[in-house]
A = this chain, B = another copy of it.
Amino acid sequence: MLQALVLPEIRELISTGDSATLHEVLDHWLPADIATLMTRLSDEEDVAVFKLLRGPQRVRIFEYLDRSAQQRLLVSLPEDEAGSLLTDMADDDRTSLLGSLSEVDRTRWLDRLSVEQRALAESLLQYPSDSVGRLMTPHFVCVRPHWTVQHVLDHIRLHGRDSETLNVVYVVDDNHRLIDDLRIRQLLVVDPSKRIKELMDDNFIALHADDEKRSAVEVFRRYDRTAMPVVDGDNHLLGIVTIDDVIDIAERSATEDMHRLGGLEALEDSYANTPILTLVRKRAVWLVVLFLGEMLTATAMGYFEHELATAVVLALFVPLIISSGGNSGSQAATLIVRALALEEIKLCDWRRVLVRELSSGAILGVVLGAIGFFRIALWSTFSTIYGPHWMLVGVTVSVSLVGIVLWGCVSGSMLPFVLKRFGLDPATSSAPFVATLVDVTGLVIYFSVAMVVLRGTLL
Contact = CB atoms under 8 A, between A and B. Distances in A.
Contacts of A308: 312, 315-316
Nearest to A163: B185
A289 to B, nearest CB: 10
A244 B261 contact: no
A271 B45 CA distance: 48
Contacts of A279: 356, 360
Contacts of A363: 280, 284
Interface size of A as a range: 35 or more
A283 interface: yes
A364 B323 CA distance: 22
Given A226-B243, A267-B335, A297 B276 contact: no
Interface in A335-353: 335-339, 342, 344-346, 348-349, 352
Which of A183, A270, A297, A326 has most B Cβ within 10 Å?
A326
Q: How many subunits of this chain does the assembly comprise? A: 2
Interface in A177-222: 183-185, 188-189, 203, 205, 217, 220-222
Interface string A53-76: 000000000001000000000000
Contact of A336 (B161, B247, B254, B271): B271
B320 A318 contact: no
Interface string A324-338: 101110110111111
Given A247-B246, A287-B364, A334-B264, A294 B324 contact: yes
Nearest to A359: B276
Contacts of A255: 338, 342
A403 interface: no
Contacts of A324: 287, 290-291, 294
Interface in A15-50: 28, 30, 32, 36
A331 B244 CA distance: 29
A436 interface: yes
A108 interface: no
A98 interface: no
Nearest to A360: B280
A323 B308 CA distance: 20
A43 to B, nearest CB: 15
A413 to B, nearest CB: 10
Interface string A270-292: 11110010011001101110111
Given A302-B316, A364-B284, A262 B261 contact: yes
Interface stretch (A81-89, A112-120, A152-160, A450-458): A152-160
Contact of A367 (B257, B288, B301): B288
A4 B372 CA distance: 45
Contact of A319 (B322, B327, B331, B334): B322
Contacts of A364: 280, 283-284, 287
Contacts of A248: 221
A173 to B, nearest CB: 20
A223 interface: yes
A335 B271 contact: yes
Interface string A240-261: 0001101110110011011101
A263 B330 contact: yes
A298 interface: yes
Contacts of A356: 276, 279
Contact of A301 (B259, B301, B316, B375): B316
Contact of A344 (B264, B272, B301): B272
Contacts of A254: 250-251, 254, 258
Contacts of A291: 320, 324, 327, 368, 371-372
A-B pairs, 6 with minimum CB distance: A262-B334, A254-B254, A297-B319, A271-B339, A431-B431, A270-B344
22 contacts: A32-B223, A157-B188, A165-B167, A166-B188, A167-B184, A221-B251, A226-B226, A243-B244, A258-B334, A259-B335, A259-B338, A262-B330, A267-B335, A270-B344, A284-B367, A287-B331, A287-B405, A288-B371, A298-B320, A312-B312, A312-B315, A327-B432
